[in-house]
């Protein structure tokens, strides 16, 4: 699944600057605290030890507190400069350590890092309380907020001030002492519970192994899939062929394996992650998280956690988000039901003698795709070599925005499979650094996301350009065969690179509104719209080249891809919408005393008419977006933003996909981050409100 990895804004709003440690800093933490000697101040990973992080965090927190106390103790009347600017520039060491640690903890973790996360989480929560429950600090912000119309602020400064005021109120600033203590306790417990959820999910996922020793059980699997499984077995020091729950391993198995019993085994293992009644079971953790979130919402004056979260989204209310989901659901479930009938007919024609089940869907979909469109994924993949797809994504950014990409071999890497580029703007000036981390490993969680090592800032004397990371889990090279992507993986690469562009191109002053620090249901516009270019004929011709011959993808294959582009759209839409509804409905409950997530899934399935042959994209026990990331009451955002991206790309199609004027207008949306009202600026770009019908057209659910 494509997603963005977020570091909590309320902790890390300031810029990432290199700072020197005091002379009494523990020697083990010095590498993290010293200024970097690498180009552009890039992290020097080889110098960091895992043991460095905890003392570096502790010093960073102490320095952050000292910076905050200096603001509080300032005897001068509050001004924007001595309060808001000072807040934005506080805690630079903590920002540095946090960005490095949390990025590595997601992409190259070890047991010691996980222990460090458990140790540091309560300290970061306590820091939040120290900041956001401080009455004197809030009084300074409230004074500025109450007088904001007289301060001569520009739009960015106004939004930053309003964000701080809201964040303080939502952080408990208006609560009495007793309730502040309760909120801090809740936040501490929530932080630890989220870590436990994620640790359980990772452990349960990595514990599963499907080891095949009889070659006949590989029937139907392409040679490349077999070779990768053989290499995985050798690496794990087991005999035969090894399949795991990493998507590059389990998805091809579900698509091609003739052995139905083994398909069922790996399918159930994937969807039951975190729900296996073992020591990694997440059910009670989920109930606890939901109950704590409700307590938090009630303390802050909201009826439900959904109401609390939606109060700062573009959609504003749970009803508005649900209305959008319901409007999509009707067309999607009808299409999915028709698709199920078509697959059942195929099973019957082969005298299968069984009813279509979830573990049959991908297998028979591939057969039907081939029968209807003469389209075989193994015919497509040779044209989508990873390096070529990267170049295609870069080339689109060059044509749209004039960007340049220069491979760098002098910037330190945290893993030898990571690649790094310097990004240049249209005037050949340094814009930022981009890291690409594309392959699965035991130390990396599943999925795909974007994050930063350094945040952009241009405030006073400080001017830093961002360092952005894309993390994915694509099929690695095997033997003499390079990494070859399928269509979904190709779209994932473009998607995450769209997020990267959002982070790289930002031109704000204040770090708290730079890059992807925007309203949650706005952020996916920039990733999802970029997917559109990936499958445009003109673009395909430029990058989709056979890895052996170098020949461009033929017109007839492009035509097949386009004809099949809406194939299986009912399945793809319902699994997404159902998961978004699951997220929203769970958080609209007002009591969790007897909550059972599995029963809740069944009840919702019956209520909305979700057919049994399709599973929620994520079941509750492995819904890491909701329970171990920033997407709680926010999974609908993919759909909300899809209305925007589908509507926006229709304008590009009308004027030309690389039309300079349209690209320039869209560039402003990328550059503004969260410094301007997103809907106001979108209307300026489009000349009208976004049209929800564009989403249905994009998915082929209406003409």
Active site residues: 496
Helical spans, DSSP H, in 36-91: 53-73, 86-88
SS3 416: coil
Fold of 27-201: 1.10.1370
Q: What pLDDT is attached to residue 26?
A: 43
* 69-113 residue pLDDT tens: 999 999 999 999 999 999 999 999 999 999 999 999 999 888 899
Q: How far is CA 240 from CA 212, 220, 226, 267, 531, in A?
A: 6, 17, 10, 20, 38
Closest CA to 407 of 425, 393, 391: 391
Q: Which helix (H) or strand (E) holds 431?
A: strand 430-437
What is the per-residue pLDDT for 479? 87
Q: How far apart are CA 413 and CA 437, in angstroms?
A: 10
The CA distance from 668 to 694, in Å, is: 22
Least confident range from 7-11, 333-337, 592-596, 628-632: namely 7-11
Cβ–Cβ under 8 Å, residues 472 and 437: yes
The mean per-residue pLDDT over the stretch 147-154 comes to 97
Q: With 50 as the cut, is the pLDDT of residue 21 above it? A: no
For residue range 584-598, what is the model confidence (pLDDT) as tens digits?
Answer: 999 999 999 999 999
pLDDT in tens, 182-194: 999 999 999 999 9
| Residue showing tokens 């989480």 | 121
DSSP helix/strand/coil, 507: coil
For the segment 312-331, the average pLDDT, to the nearest whole number, is: 96
Each domain of the chain, given as residue ranges in start order, spans: 27-201, 208-271
pLDDT at 18 over 70: no
- DSSP label of 15: -
Burial environment of residue 551 by CB neighbours within 10 A (0 to 12, 13 to 18, 19 or more):
exposed
470 three-class SS: strand
Instruction: Give pairs for 474-477: CB < 8 Å, separation 24+.
Output: 474/248, 474/386, 474/438, 474/439, 474/440, 475/224, 475/228, 475/248, 475/252, 476/228, 476/248, 476/417, 476/439, 476/440
Quick one: three-class SS letters along 106-128?
HHCCCHHHHHHHHHHHHHHHHHH
- pLDDT value of position 32: 93
- The answer to whether the beta carbons of residues 180 and 172 sit under 8 Å apart is yes
Q: Are 640 and 314 in contact (CB under 8 A)?
A: yes
Mean pLDDT of 145-166: 98
> Do residues 274 and 280 touch, judged by C-beta distance below 8 A?
yes
Q: Is residue 24 scored above 50 in pLDDT?
A: no
Percentage of the chain exceeding pLDDT 70: 96
Tokens of 286: 């989920």
pLDDT digits (tens, 9 = 90+) for 27-61: 444 789 999 999 999 999 999 999 999 999 999 99
Tens digit of each residue's pLDDT (9 = 90 or more) over 611-631: 999 999 999 999 999 999 889
> Tens digits of per-residue pLDDT, 422-466?
999 999 999 999 999 999 988 888 889 999 999 999 998 899 999
Q: What is the pLDDT of residue 19?
A: 30
Is residue 514's pLDDT more than 90? Answer: yes
Evaluate if residue 519 carries a pLDDT over 90.
yes
The predicted structure's pLDDT at residue 14: 34
pLDDT at 703: 81
**Torsion sign across C-alpha atoms 592, 594, 598, 600:** negative
């Amino acid at each position: 699944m494509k997603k963005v990895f977020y570091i909590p804004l309320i902790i890390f709003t300031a810029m990432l600057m290199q700072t020197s440690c005091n002379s009494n800093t523990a020697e083990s933490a010095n590498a993290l605290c010293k200024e970097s000697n690498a180009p552009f101040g890039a992290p020097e990973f080889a110098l960091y030890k895992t043991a460095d992080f905890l003392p570096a965090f502790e010093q960073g927190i102490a320095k952050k507190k000292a910076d905050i106390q200096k603001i509080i103790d300032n005897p001068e009347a509050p001004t924007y400069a001595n309060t808001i600017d000072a807040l934005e520039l506080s805690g630079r060491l903590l920002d540095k350590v946090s960005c490095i640690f949390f990025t590595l903890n997601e992409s190259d973790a070890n047991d010691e890092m996980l222990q460090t996360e458990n140790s540091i989480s309560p300290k970061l929560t306590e820091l939040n309380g120290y900041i956001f429950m401080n009455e004197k600090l809030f009084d300074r912000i409230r004074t500025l907020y109450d007088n904001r119309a007289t301060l001569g602020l520009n739009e960015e400064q106004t939004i930053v001030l309003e964000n701080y005021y809201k964040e303080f109120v939502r952080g408990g600033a208006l609560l009495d002492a007793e309730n502040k203590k309760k909120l801090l306790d809740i936040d501490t417990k929530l932080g630890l519970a989220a870590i436990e959820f994620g640790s359980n999910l990772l452990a349960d996922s990595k514990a599963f192994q499907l080891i095949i020793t009889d070659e006949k059980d590989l029937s139907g699997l392409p040679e490349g899939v077999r070779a990768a499984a053989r290499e995985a077995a050798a690496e794990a020091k087991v005999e035969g062929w090894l399949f795991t729950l990493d998507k590059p391993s389990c998805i091809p198995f579900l698509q091609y394996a003739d052995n139905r019993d083994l398909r069922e085994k790996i399918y159930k293992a994937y969807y039951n992650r975190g729900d296996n009644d073992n020591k990694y079971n997440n059910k009670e953790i989920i109930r606890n998280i939901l109950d704590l979130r409700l307590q938090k919402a009630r303390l802050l004056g909201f009826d439900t956690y959904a109401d609390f979260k939606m109060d700062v989204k573009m959609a504003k209310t749970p009803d508005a988000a649900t209305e959008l989901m319901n409007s999509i659901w009707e067309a999607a479930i009808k299409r999915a039901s028709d698709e199920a009938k078509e697959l059942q007919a195929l099973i019957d024609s082969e005298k299968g003698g069984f009813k279509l089940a979830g573990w049959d869907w991908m297998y028979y979909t591939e057969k039907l795709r081939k029968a209807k469109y003469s389209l075989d994924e193994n015919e497509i993949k040779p044209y989508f070599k990873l390096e070529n797809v990267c170049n295609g994504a870069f080339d689109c950014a060059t044509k749209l925005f004039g960007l340049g990409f220069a491979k760098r071999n002098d910037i330190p890497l945290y893993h030898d499979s990571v690649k790094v580029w310097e990004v240049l703007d249209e005037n050949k000036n340094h814009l930022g650094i981009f890291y690409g981390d594309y392959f699965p490993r035991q130390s990396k969680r599943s999925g795909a996301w974007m994050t930063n090592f350094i945040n952009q800032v241009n405030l006073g004397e400080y001017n830093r350009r961002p360092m952005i990371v894309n993390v994915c889990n694509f099929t690695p090279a095997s033997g003499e065969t390079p990494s070859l992507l399928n269509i979904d993986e190709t779209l994932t690469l473009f998607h995450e690179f769209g997020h990267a562009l959002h982070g790289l191109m930002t031109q704000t002053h204040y770090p708290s509104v730079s890059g992807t620090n925007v309203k949650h249901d706005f952020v996916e516009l920039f990733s999802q719209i970029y997917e559109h270019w990936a499958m445009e004929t003109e673009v395909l011709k430029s990058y989709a080249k056979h890895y052996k011959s170098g020949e461009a993808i033929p017109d007839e294959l492009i035509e097949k891809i386009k004809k099949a582009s809406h194939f299986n759209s009912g399945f793809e839409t319902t699994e997404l919408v159902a998961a978004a509804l699951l997220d929203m409905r769970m958080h609209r409950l007002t009591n969790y005393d007897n909550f059972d997530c599995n029963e809740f899934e069944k009840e919702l399935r019956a209520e909305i008419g979700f057919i049994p042959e399709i599973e929620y994209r994520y079941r509750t026990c492995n819904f890491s977006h909701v329970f171990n990331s920033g997407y709680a009451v926010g999974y609908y955002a993919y759909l909300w933003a899809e209305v925007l991206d589908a509507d926006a790309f229709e304008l590009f199609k009308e004027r030309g996909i690389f039309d300079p004027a349209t690209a320039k207008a869209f560039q402003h949306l990328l550059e503004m981050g969260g410094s301007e009202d997103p809907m106001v600026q979108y209307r300026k770009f489009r000349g009208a409100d976004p049209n929800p019908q564009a989403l249905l057209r994009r998915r082929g659910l209406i003409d």
